[in-house]
């Protein structure tokens, strides 16, 4: 409200009427809060002894802010004069004058003069000699077959040498080892592939090996020499009657089928005879069987040699140690006495009948069903993770693929995952369709009685940017916003924005998408503070997203460290 005085008011004191009538320093005057001043106001500064006028519409001066000197001792209007800061800015752009020179002077440096003074007339004698030498050499090269060093003579010499041919390489190949194979081998790179008895084999081509094979009743031989193939027909020979010289010589008999392509040595043949004789000695003679059948004994079989041989194999009197054991054919194919417990099994082979539960047709199913009810555990999702694990992204980003992994405390009877195909035994799935908008994936599992659910939500948000900076030279753009030192993904402007230091000539900026409705006021140090709205601008973020941002800043520069709070 206004106070009306009906008579003169006299104030007798040394202090100014109000704190804004007089300032100790220019800094105190410049940083005085604008909201406590009218649009136009005059005041004194003790530091300079001058009178200043505040004008809210003035541009901000680095030294005096929006204050301007009125005149020496307080008199005169200097609003039409340049300030010190404005004068300095103009002087910074000037070009210093140099006596005797103009702006278009073509300066010739001492360095260039020294180079020019050192130049001498060029002597091309050496170059001319080299040209003459090259011309003579070219004349020799173009000479006929009688000129030494000419191309024609070198070609003629090579032709003559090629006619003097020896088949040393072919002779060497003939003396190489030979392999009998099923069909013509194949050369690929430096590897020769062939088949023997249907088995694939390979050797390197530098072995110079000759291959023999039969195709359509015709015998052939093939050899590769320096990757060149030589194939000939050969006389009719039954290759199966021969063995390869390159195959190993058999020196032991293993009991397996004999390899007809290998050459047994005498020692191996003796070992085979000994092995056969030993096995035959352990057999029962036919004559023994015949004599036992014709015997006059009450039990001719038991008294026979055959029964005696059988008694060696199985001991009739087993004793109490083997009580309860059963005969089983072991892994070697022989009969053996084993404990019943060693035979294993899960009772699935024991039949079970229950009219009310016809599906439980063996003991295992019946017991499993009983245990599942007595010891029932509710199904649960133990873990549910994604790759990538990041769930929040900047607008403009694209998630190309998501791999899911999960674990359960028991096997389910059904399970599903959003937009993914999964089987009951699966514990992983991949969603390979790229997406750039919010998307939620839900995992559902059930044990037939209870269910469990887990979700993973991927979100895309715009960033809020803030930091300190001088005003841009031109207009505000994407480069200016992205260069601010702080950013965060958000859906609202509300929150605290800390500035570590707003230096001289810098302002505190906050940039939000216009959809956030960023206000022009905030709280700094608990006091509501008016911010300057510098406008709305189309901004492209680092992920390629484009939207309109509102940008606000502090009205005063060089405020140091502070925190803006938007409520």
Q: Hey, which residues does 494 pair with through a beta bridge? A: none
Residue 216 resides in a domain: yes
Residues 448 and 510 both lie in one domain: no
**Residue among 523, 527, 504, 529 nearest 566 (CA):** 523
Q: Is residue 322 part of a domain?
A: no
Indicate if 548 and 478 belong to the same structural domain. yes
**34 in a domain, yes or no?**
yes
Q: What is the pLDDT of residue 365?
A: 86
Tell me: pLDDT of 494 over 80. Answer: yes
Residue 464: how many other CB atoms lie within 10 Å: 24
Mean predicted confidence (pLDDT) in 453-479: 96
Q: Considering the domain boundaries, does residue 124 fall inside one?
A: no
Cβ-based neighbours of 291, under 8 Å, separated by 6 or more: 304, 305
pLDDT over 80 at 11, yes or no: no
What is the dihedral sign for C-alpha 134, 135, 137, 141?
positive
- pLDDT score, position 106: 64
Domain final position from 458, 479, 506: 458
Instruction: Please give the tally of structural domains in the chain.
Output: 5
The pLDDT of residue 75 is above 50: no
User: Do 454 and 472 reside in the same domain of the chain?
Assistant: no
**Two tokens, residue 103:** 């702006």
Phi/psi of residue 137, nearest 5 degrees = -65, -40
Contacts of 143 (CB under 8 A, 6+ apart): 149, 150, 152, 153
**Tens of pLDDT along 376-406?**
899 999 999 999 999 999 999 999 999 999 9
Cα(194)–Cα(211) distance, rounded to whole angstroms? 9
* Residue 258 covered by a domain: no
Residues 433 and 521 in one domain: no
Domain-embedded: residue 2: no
| Residue 72 clears pLDDT 50, i.e. is over it | no
Whether 438 and 466 map to the same domain: the answer is: no
**Same domain, yes or no, for 466 and 547?**
yes
Last residue of a domain, one of 352, 373, 394: 373
- Pair of tokens at residue 314: 């199985």
Count of C-beta atoms within a 10 Å radius of residue 181: 21
In angstroms, the CA 201 to CA 211 distance is 13
Q: 184 and 211 in contact (C-beta within 8 Å)?
A: yes
- CB neighbour class for 240 (10 Å; exposed up to 12, middle 13-18, buried from 19): exposed
Q: Do 537 and 477 share a structural domain?
A: yes
- The burial of 555, by beta-carbon neighbours within 10 Å (0-12 exposed, 13-18 middle, 19 or more buried), is given as middle
Question: Pick the residue with more confidence: 12 or 70?
Answer: 70
**Average confidence (pLDDT) over 462-490:** 96
The answer, yes or no, to whether residue 245 has pLDDT greater than 70, is no
Q: What is the CATH number of the domain that holds 430?
A: 2.60.40
Handedness of CA 161, 165, 168, 170 (dihedral sign): positive
- Choosing from 423, 458, 493, the residue where a domain stops is 458
pLDDT for position 357: 85
Q: Is residue 488 one of the residues assigned to a domain?
A: yes
Q: Which two tokens stand for residue 12?
A: 């007798």
- 522 and 470, same structural domain? yes
Nearest to 239, CA basis, from 205, 215, 256, 265 = 215
pLDDT of residue 56: 94
Position 122 in a domain: no
3-class secondary structure, 189: coil
Whether residues 394 and 486 share a domain: the answer is no
Binned at pLDDT 50, 70 and 90, residue 85 comes out as confident
Q: Are residue 362 and residue 448 in the same domain, yes or no? A: no
Comparing C-alpha atoms, which of 531, 515, 517, 516 is closest to residue 564? 531
Mean pLDDT of 18-31: 91
CA atoms in the 13 A half-sphere facing the CB of 461:
17
pLDDT of residue 65 exceeding 90? yes
Instruction: Quote the domain boundaries for residue 68.
Output: 19-83
Domain shared by 467 and 559, yes or no? yes
Distance CA 165, CA 160 (A): 10
Rounded Cα distance, 538 and 176, in Å:
81
Instruction: Report whether the peptide linkage leading into residue 303 is cis, meaning its omega lies within 30 degrees of zero.
Output: no
Q: Are residues 438 and 454 in the same domain?
A: yes
Percent of the chain with pLDDT over 90: 45
């Amino acid at each position: 409200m206004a106070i009306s005085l009906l008579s003169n008011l006299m104030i007798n004191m040394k202090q100014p009427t109000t704190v804004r009538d007089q300032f100790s320093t220019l800094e105190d005057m410049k940083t005085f809060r604008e909201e406590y001043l009218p649009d136009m106001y005059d005041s004194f500064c003790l530091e300079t002894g001058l009178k200043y006028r505040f004008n809210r519409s003035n541009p901000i001066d680095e030294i005096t802010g929006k204050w301007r000197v009125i005149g020496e001792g307080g008199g005169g209007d200097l609003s039409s004069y340049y300030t010190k800061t404005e004068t300095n800015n103009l002087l910074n752009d000037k070009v210093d004058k140099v006596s005797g020179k103009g702006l278009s002077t073509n300066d010739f440096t001492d360095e260039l003069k020294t180079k020019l003074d050192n130049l001498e007339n060029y002597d091309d004698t050496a170059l001319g000699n080299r040209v003459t030498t090259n011309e003579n050499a070219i004349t020799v090269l173009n000479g006929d077959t009688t000129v030494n060093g000419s191309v024609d003579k070198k070609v003629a010499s090579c032709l003559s040498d090629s006619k003097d041919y020896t088949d040393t390489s072919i002779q060497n190949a003939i003396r190489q080892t030979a392999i009998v194979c099923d069909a013509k081998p194949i050369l690929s790179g430096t590897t020769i592939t062939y088949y023997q008895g249907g088995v694939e084999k390979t050797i390197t081509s530098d072995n110079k090996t000759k291959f023999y094979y039969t195709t359509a009743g015709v015998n052939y031989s093939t050899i590769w020499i320096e990757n060149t193939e030589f194939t000939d027909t050969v006389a009719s020979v039954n290759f199966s009657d021969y063995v390869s010289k390159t195959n190993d010589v058999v020196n032991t008999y293993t009991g397996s089928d004999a390899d007809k392509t290998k050459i047994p040595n005498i020692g191996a043949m003796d070992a085979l005879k000994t092995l056969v004789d030993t096995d035959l000695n352990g057999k029962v003679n036919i004559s023994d069987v015949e004599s036992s059948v014709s015997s006059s004994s009450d039990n001719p079989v038991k008294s026979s040699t055959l029964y005696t041989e059988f008694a060696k194999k199985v001991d009739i009197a087993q004793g109490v140690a083997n009580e309860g054991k059963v005969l089983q054919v072991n892994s070697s194919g022989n009969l053996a006495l084993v404990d019943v417990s060693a035979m294993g099994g899960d009772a699935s082979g024991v039949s079970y009948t229950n009219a009310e539960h016809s599906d439980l047709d063996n003991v295992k199913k019946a017991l499993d069903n009983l245990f599942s009810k007595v010891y029932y555990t509710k199904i649960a999702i133990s873990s549910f993770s994604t790759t990538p694990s990041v769930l929040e992204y900047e607008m403009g980003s694209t998630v190309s693929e998501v791999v899911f992994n999960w674990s359960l405390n028991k096997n389910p009877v059904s399970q599903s995952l959003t937009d993914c195909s999964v089987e009951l035994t699966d514990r992983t799935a991949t969603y390979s369709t790229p997406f750039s908008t919010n998307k939620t994936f839900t995992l559902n599992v059930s044990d037939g009685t209870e269910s469990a659910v887990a979700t993973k939500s991927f979100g895309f948000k715009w960033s809020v940017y803030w930091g300190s900076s001088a005003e841009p030279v031109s207009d505000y753009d994407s480069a200016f916003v992205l260069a601010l030192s702080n950013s965060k993904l958000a859906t609202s402007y509300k929150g605290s924005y800390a500035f570590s230091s707003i230096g001289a000539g810098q302002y505190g900026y906050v940039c939000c998408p216009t959809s956030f409705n960023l206000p022009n006021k905030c709280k700094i140090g608990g006091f509501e503070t008016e911010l300057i709205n510098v406008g709305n601008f189309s901004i492209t973020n680092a992920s390629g997203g484009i939207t309109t941002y509102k940008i606000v800043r502090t009205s005063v520069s060089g405020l140091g460290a502070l925190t803006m709070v938007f409520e």
